[in-house]
Structure 1
């Protein structure tokens, strides 16, 4: 089971995670997202040590169709997005996809 957390995003986004002890990160400045974000995400998805990848919700718009599909279908590592308009439903869906069951199911 993969134990590491990976973070992808602007240096401002990754700094807090790095200060908290996250060792795997990819800094992608805002002006280079269209060129470098796909590569950074693909590398994190292929890293067998990483179980969770964290990135900002707005950065999903900068991914190519193929990489975005890889992200949406990846079970391990699971991609968790923060910020933007994800809301509790988005996080709930991410958790459900990661573990395979809905912990908040009221039925």
Structure 2
């Protein structure tokens, strides 16, 4: 069972997670996002030890269509996006996808 958390993003984004003890991360400089982000995300998605991938919400825009679709449909590892335009609806969908049920169902 995969249990490691991986963080993908700019060094500023990953720094806080590294200080909190996350050991698996992929730094992608802002100027390199278009070229390197696909490779960085694919690397953590293919790592069998990773159970959760954390990314900045705005970085999703820089992914190729293939990698973006993989991120949006990935169940294991679960991909969680933070920051930017992330609203409660988006987080709700991520939780629902991860555990298979809607905890907020009325």
1:32 positional shift: 0.2
**3-state SS of 1:79 partner:** strand
- Note the alpha carbon deviations across 1:51-93, whole angstroms, 9 max, x for none: 0000000000000000001111110001000001111110000
**Aligned residue in 2 for 1:81:** 81
Q: Report the Cα distance in structure 2 between the residues aligned to 1:104 and 1:49, rounded to whole angstroms.
A: 30
The runs of at least 4 consecutive aligned structure 1 residues that moved more than 6 Å come to none
Q: Report the Cα distance in structure 1 between the residues aligned to 2:99 and 2:45, rounded to whole angstroms.
A: 17
Q: TM-score, normalised by structure 2?
A: 0.98
Unmatched 5+ residue regions in structure 2?
none
**3-state SS of 2:72 partner:** helix
Alignment coverage as a number of residue pairs:
106
Q: Report the Cα distance in structure 2 between the residues aligned to 1:74 and 1:90, rounded to whole angstroms.
A: 15
What is the Cα-based RMSD across aligned positions, in Å?
0.5
**Aligned residue in 1 for 2:31:** 31
**Aligned residue in 2 for 1:5:** 5
